[in-house]
Structure 1
């Protein structure tokens, strides 16, 4: 594709934030390439569901019992408990349950919120287990159950670290009056790169970048709030993000758009590599942007805005018809047949000059905006649910570059002022995802705030499902919750 002079960003700069502010180098949603140490497991031979699991040898039973003790390492429970050795059907049932949980998630889709529209692909672990037992390849089968992404592996290693911190007593609460040494020691619990005597401003800036905050180097209110998040809540965030990785397909389209809703960042991938990234504005806490996957099929140039009824009722109709008309809105229809508000295309349209369309049940899309100031902010969750783009024209040019009749002509089409729909030469997969925890290249964990409260809710659902279904889960284990 024609790069249109866009700066090609490396995966390291997109995914590791320890060396640069979020503002300067916005992160991709999370690492997405297969982990280098992930073994390649041949696909299972199809087996009818009625075929029984072959008898397990004593060594296989022992190995599987030991494997089942590792649920905490995979974020399936906050704590495990000693259990009696499982045998026979009880062991097989536990193994199949664990395999399914690792492959497609611990939480059943029936328990998803409506806006968690990203659904894992169906998975039956039985054929794979039959083959693994028959060929005596249980370790290889197990290794292929978890998501084949470095993002998942980074969270798994981070979980071990934060569980160790929890078991060592966590960390002390800080105040604005905490001494420099106390602040430095607190940050060093999570950031092993902190050096004795290192300038406190540098230590705080590094922490602020890990939290996606403005790296001022000052111990301000927001920084204190992030540093005082409990270790239990950090563990809950890691568990929730690991679960979301389990909802992802095992192979992503090599050309795709990914939006990290929580960080308000869009990244474009070509050939499975991130090639450009931009700031975005995503849904406010009262207007959550849904998690979903779809395909961008067309771009509307100079789009009018058909104001959704909910926005019109809450924000526009109270202004009065005369005020709306003075502001350029049009009222379409009649009181008898129903009226709706339309904002004509133009420089002041809420959709700006471009709208990227993809099918979904929530009527959300990517679009331009005339309100540019928000892109300079570190708080960019402010839309009604759609995704506003910092650089929509370069993104559109990349999407149409393979069509010689369209390449390089997006701005020309905009300048005509004419509303027109442009079909893409090839549809582009789009993923709206919610990543609030991920590991940087050196293993240090990065966190974003949980603006929708989805982390804690999902972690609680994971824990509840494990207590109900997993014989290795501790019945008393809970995820910390604070109002």
Structure 2
């Protein structure tokens, strides 16, 4: 007798559940397999390439010196550090081979290209020393036993630097002899006067000027000439009368003069290994331009350079063109500080002075002064630089009569721009002196390209000497001497601390 299963029996329920699960699994497997035919297989995970670490830099093998070379090099470095103004007394140097060699290489870098790091330079000290590795030449000097010649080859190869080395030695000798006594303030000293202050003046001048002759307390003709020589050395009006300005220059302590000489020697080390033989050179502090032809000065003229706050930067470049009858595109800083306020105070000022307002597409306004009234005069000498400065003419000729000629916004105004333009165009056939005169006379703006671009150097010399070691000084209008000396001293102190 067959037994009929009840539809709700546990056995049937488990059977149906297993059957259903099997069907679902089979359907899922079939669907997944079908979809897999349309999907690209996963790319295998790439195995990262094993890059070996860069090899550790191997220490540079330094030359091995003989016993005689060790003694000689230690003596040479010590003496040269004093002569080059790096130290006032011979520095202690290591006695072991590698330590002494490293000290000599550090000395070479300091003498050849200065002691500042890149971070120490101000932006407007745009003259930078070229990269220099002293090791190859030092190796040759050791191999050929010519260490003295190697030391002698390190300083900048310029007569201007050599004369400062002689000047430094002279002022150190003055300092060793107790320098000079400060002049006491009082009424202006002049020719014909007598007294103790005149005696003191003669004694003071004799310390720096070997030409001072005579004795006594009378302001005679020889003392008059000595005063004028001193005033020329200090960049003052050579009136022969000793007033407040001359007294201030005479009372600068000898130690401050030595520090000033050292700062200028340091700036010489920033120059390229060779200056262009044909060049325009501007001494910013003295406000003088000199033209060199074949490395010989052939033209000199007064200039007006940047006033403190609008410093003329130290740069080197090339004059590539001269703009005749240039308009003046006024820098926004000058317009905002000086011209817009004048227009507000006196409406119509801009029109009366030849300015026109130019609106830019963005709505800003700038000023341009027409060539007929341009503050740039008739000549503008263009050269590439990051400061938008240039050499130019000026209708304000009275500024050249002053002895203190730091009065511009940073550009360099020239006393004789036409003479300079004709000299620079001497190798450009289409721009003869007559052609230049005619173009200027038209009043039209013309850009004349210089066939052979001429190097231009804007330099800051506050101490410079003649071949006899007689040093001329200028004031430090931008305080760059003091800033530079402080930076050098700070870096030297950090290096000394790190070496302990």
Q: For 1:70-469, what aligned pairs fall within 5 Å after superposition?
A: 70=79, 71-77=81-87, 79-80=88-89, 83=92, 85-177=94-186, 179-197=197-215, 199-319=222-342, 320=344, 322-333=348-359, 337-346=363-372, 348-408=373-433, 409-469=435-495
1:6 equivalent in structure 2: none
Measured in 2, the distance between the counterparts of 1:309 and 1:404 equals 38
Q: Is the 8 A contact 1:76 1:462 kept in 2?
A: no
Measured in 1, the distance between the counterparts of 2:378 and 2:411 equals 15
Give 1:341 deviation, angstroms: 0.8
Q: Is the 8 A contact 1:76 1:466 kept in 2?
A: no
Measured in 1, the distance between the counterparts of 2:349 and 2:161 equals 52
Give 1:82 deviation, angstroms: 5.6
Measured in 2, the distance between the counterparts of 1:82 and 1:381 equals 40
**Higher mean C-alpha deviation, range 303-312 or range 54-63:** 54-63
Structure 1 residues 288, 295: CA separation in 2 closer, same or farther (over 3 Å shift)? same
Give 1:469 deviation, angstroms: 3.3
1:15 equivalent in structure 2: none
Give 1:167 deviation, angstroms: 2.5
Q: Who wins on radius of gyration, i.e. which is larger?
A: 2
Deviations 1:182-208 (A, max 9, x none): 111111111122112363212211111
Structure 1 residues 110, 75: CA separation in 2 closer, same or farther (over 3 Å shift)? same
Give 1:323 deviation, angstroms: 2.4
Q: Which has the higher helix share?
A: 2
Q: For 1:460-479, what aligned pairs fall within 5 Å after superposition?
A: 460-469=486-495
Structure 1 residues 297, 50: CA separation in 2 closer, same or farther (over 3 Å shift)? farther
Measured in 2, the distance between the counterparts of 1:280 and 1:289 equals 12
Give 1:134 deviation, angstroms: 1.3
Normalised by the size of structure 2, how large is the TM-score?
Answer: 0.81
Give 1:81 deviation, angstroms: 5.9
What is the DSSP-based 3-state SS (H/G/I as helix, E as strand, rest coil) of the residue aligned with 1:330? strand
Give 1:88 deviation, angstroms: 2.4
Deviations 1:325-358 (A, max 9, x none): 2322111106952111111111x31000110000
Normalised by the size of structure 1, how large is the TM-score?
Answer: 0.84
Q: Is the 8 A contact 1:176 1:219 kept in 2?
A: no
Q: Is the 8 A contact 1:262 1:451 kept in 2?
A: yes
Measured in 2, the distance between the counterparts of 1:441 and 1:158 equals 9
Measured in 1, the distance between the counterparts of 2:116 and 2:141 equals 25
Deviations 1:137-157 (A, max 9, x none): 111111111111111111111
* Ranges in structure 1 where 5+ consecutive residues have no aligned partner: 1-47, 476-483
Deviations 1:443-478 (A, max 9, x none): 21111111111112112222333333369x9x9xxx
What is the DSSP-based 3-state SS (H/G/I as helix, E as strand, rest coil) of the residue aligned with 2:427? coil
Measured in 1, the distance between the counterparts of 2:387 and 2:296 equals 29
Measured in 2, the distance between the counterparts of 1:132 and 1:465 equals 29
Deviations 1:57-95 (A, max 9, x none): 111111111122232221123x33663653222212111
Measured in 2, the distance between the counterparts of 1:208 and 1:428 equals 33
What is the DSSP-based 3-state SS (H/G/I as helix, E as strand, rest coil) of the residue aligned with 1:131? helix
Measured in 1, the distance between the counterparts of 2:90 and 2:249 equals 31
